[in-house]
């Protein structure tokens, strides 16, 4: 049964990956790649490109674009490579023995189909990369003894911190690992580990200094980053309930096996368990409950569960039966079910296709178009067309949320940049902010922008969806958009 279960999970994973092969380049991945495109075009981060993501995100995306390509296929290859790394690490960090390796493979495959089931916009997410980096770091810590393992682990944790700082707690893991393995870390290893941890941050500081963007970066952290952190917050009970939501039954069965076995954790299981706890803290700290934010926790939780299951398969009586039930539910129910769900997702982005056709018909060039958007398809379309936007303001979200002072500051800076750039085309999409929803008439709440559009532009068409699309479990309407074309003789200065 165990081999049949592994084969079923592998086939399910293969079906899901094949179904995802032609997914469009949308969401956060498109935004990150557009920022990299602007950087390569000479625009300074944070000083000219207004974005809330940390420099490590751009570094990972730039590397992925160089290795795998810039288009949708390149993203699929990058996402597949991250999934492959997670699977390989799950096998390497599994219980020793053939049953342990098989169960490690099940944990890795189950994680991959969960990720794909989360939907089209989760491809290449930062937290998926962080999960893969964390697992590689754990391989170094647990499989490479001595100074090299500690330094490699801390360097990779430092890399995750410059992507998102939420996994910083992992930096203490070598101390805990040495304690549970009854070893001692030398002062040289501790000092070297601290230096390795700080190395990515030092490289980021040097990079920002080269661009003259250190001050702008700090202002971003105290401004729109703070506003962004307040958006779409979820309560702690929602977060805990969704942490293992897709496979809660698998975790529950694993806990039953653990209880029946009176499981005595070895040093590696304890280290992986604490690392999973750090992943859970990372998920809770982000407070938004987005599926991709739980990836580090979920990958490690699956590995811990299947380590227990591997022990159960070697036991007799109830522990073995419940372990077999866990394997059956995971591989014969969840994996095929998730794979089937992936096959139902749409492979098109109708708003991007329509907007690209409209902008091409208008003959827009570099610096001639400005998006009033968040992730509603305008920036994704410009990325696909490789057209530089007229300003570095990638979203109008922060003109409508946050404190009154923060909104006023963002509005003034955004509008001033638009007036200086004098874009020939403005694109207003209906989707504008995380967790807020669609609002194609929101500029009425921004009087200065509304007056500017009314006096300087005329509506030149638009697009509204005629049907819903499925990019994840829910069927949704894609965002609509409206195009504004600059009037001849407009001054570009609002009263």
In DSSP notation, 336-399 reads: HHHHHHHHTS----HHHHHHHHHHHHHT--TTSEEEE-SSSSHHHHHHHHT---SSSB---GGG
Rounded distance, CA 61 to CA 126, Å? 9
Strand partners, 476: 469
Per-residue pLDDT of the chain (495 residues; tens, 9 = 90+): 899 999 999 999 999 999 999 999 998 999 999 999 999 999 999 999 999 999 999 999 999 999 999 999 999 999 999 999 999 999 999 988 999 999 999 999 999 999 999 999 999 999 999 999 999 999 999 999 899 999 999 999 999 999 999 999 999 999 999 999 999 999 999 999 999 999 999 999 999 999 999 999 999 999 999 999 998 899 999 999 999 988 999 999 999 999 999 888 899 999 999 999 999 999 999 999 999 999 999 999 999 999 999 999 999 999 999 999 999 999 999 999 999 999 999 999 999 999 999 999 999 999 999 999 988 899 999 999 999 999 999 989 999 998 999 999 999 999 999 999 999 999 999 988 876 667 888 999 999 999 999 999 999 999 999 999 999 888 999 999 999 999 876 554 443
d(CA 295, CA 283): 8
DSSP state of 494: -
* 312 closest CA partner among 327, 298, 300, 301: 327
- Our measurement of the distance from residue 465's CA atom to the centroid of its chain's CA atoms, rounded to an integer in Å, reads 27
Query: Do residues 415 and 494 touch, judged by C-beta distance below 8 A?
Result: yes
How far is 473 from 346, CA to CA, in rounded Å? 11
- Structure letter (DSSP) for residue 479: P
Query: Tell me, what's the pLDDT at 491?
Result: 55
Q: Buried b vs exposed e over 387-402: b needs ≥16 C-beta within 10 Å?
A: bbbbbbbbbbbbbbbb
Q: Note the pLDDT of residue 490.
A: 58
- Alpha helix stretches (DSSP H) within 146-266: 147-161, 173-180, 187-211, 214-222, 224-229, 236-243, 248-261
Return the biggest CA–CA distance within the chain.
Answer: 85
Distance in Å from the first CA to the final CA of the chain? 75
Measured in degrees and rounded to the nearest 5, phi and psi for residue 327 equal: -60, -45
User: In 3D, which of 454, 446, 444 has the Cα closest to residue 407?
Assistant: 446
- Domain positions in the chain are 2-343, 350-486
* Distance separating alpha carbons of residues 241 and 65, to the nearest angstrom: 35
Is this model's pTM higher than 0.75 or not? yes
Q: Are 170 and 176 in contact, with CB atoms under 8 Å apart?
A: no
pLDDT of residue 182: 92
Among 471, 358, 493, residue whose Cα is nearest residue 117: 471
What pLDDT is attached to residue 495?
A: 35
DSSP reduced 3-state for 284: helix
Report the residue count for the chain.
Answer: 495
Phi, psi of 312 (to 5 degrees): -65, -35
8 A C-beta contact, residue 295 and residue 131: yes
Using DSSP, state whether 427 is helix, strand or coil.
strand
Measured distance CA(270)–CA(359) in Å, rounded: 56
DSSP H or E run through 482: strand 481-486
Provide the pLDDT for residue 14: 97
Residue 489, pLDDT score: 60
Q: What is the pLDDT of residue 53?
A: 96
C-alpha separations of 185 from 137, 140, 174, 235 in Å:
17, 15, 8, 39
């Amino acid at each position: 049964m165990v081999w049949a279960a592994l084969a079923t999970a592998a086939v399910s994973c293969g079906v899901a990956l094949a179904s995802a092969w032609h997914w469009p380049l949308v969401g956060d991945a498109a935004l990150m790649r557009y920022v990299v495109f602007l950087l390569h075009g000479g625009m300074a981060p944070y000083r000219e490109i207004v974005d809330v993501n940390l420099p490590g995100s751009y570094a990972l995306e730039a590397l992925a674009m160089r290795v795998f390509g810039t288009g949708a296929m390149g993203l699929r290859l990058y996402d597949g490579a991250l999934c492959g790394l997670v699977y390989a690490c799950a096998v390497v960090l599994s219980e020793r023995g053939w049953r342990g390796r098989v169960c490690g493979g099940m944990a890795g495959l189950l994680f991959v189909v969960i990720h794909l089931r989360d939907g089209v916009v989760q491809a290449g997410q930062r937290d998926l990369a962080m999960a893969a980096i964390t697992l590689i770091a754990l391989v170094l810590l647990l499989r490479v003894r001595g100074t090299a393992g500690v330094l490699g682990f801390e360097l990779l944790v430092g890399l995750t911190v410059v992507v998102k700082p939420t996994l910083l707690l992992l930096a203490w893991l070598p101390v805990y690992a040495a304690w549970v393995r009854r070893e001692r870390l030398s002062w040289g290893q501790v000092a070297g580990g601290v230096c390795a941890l700080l190395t990515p941050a030092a490289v980021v500081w040097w990079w920002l200094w080269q661009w003259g963007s250190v001050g702008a970066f700090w202002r971003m952290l105290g401004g729109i980053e703070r506003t962004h952190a307040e958006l779409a917050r979820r309560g702690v009970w929602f977060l805990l309930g969704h942490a293992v939501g897709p496979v809660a039954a698998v975790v529950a069965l694993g806990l039953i096996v653990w209880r029946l076995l009176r499981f005595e954790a070895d040093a590696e299981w304890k280290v992986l368990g604490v690392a999973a706890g750090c992943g859970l803290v990372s998920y809770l700290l982000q407070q938004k409950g987005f599926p991709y934010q739980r990836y580090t926790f979920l990958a490690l939780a699956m590995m811990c569960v299947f380590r227990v299951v591997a022990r159960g398969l070697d036991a007799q009586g109830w522990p073995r039966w419940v372990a077999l039930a866990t394997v059956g539910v995971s591989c014969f129910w969840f994996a095929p079910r998730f794979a089937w769900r992936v096959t139902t997702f749409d492979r098109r982005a109708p708003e991007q296709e329509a907007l690209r056709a409209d902008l091409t018909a208008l003959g827009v060039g570099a610096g001639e178009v400005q998006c009033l958007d968040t992730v509603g398809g305008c920036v994704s379309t410009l990325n696909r067309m490789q057209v530089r936007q007229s300003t570095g303001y990638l979203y109008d979200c922060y003109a409508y949320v946050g404190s009154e002072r923060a909104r006023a500051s963002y509005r003034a800076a955004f509008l001033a940049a638009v007036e200086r750039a004098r874009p020939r085309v403005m694109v207003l999409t209906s989707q504008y902010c995380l967790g807020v929803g669609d609002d194609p008439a929101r500029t009425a709440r921004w009087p200065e922008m509304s007056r500017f559009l009314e006096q300087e532009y005329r509506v030149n068409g638009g697009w509204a969806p005629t049907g819903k699309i499925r990019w994840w479990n829910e069927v949704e309407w894609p965002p609509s958009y409206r195009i504004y074309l600059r009037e001849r003789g407009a001054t570009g200065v609002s009263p």
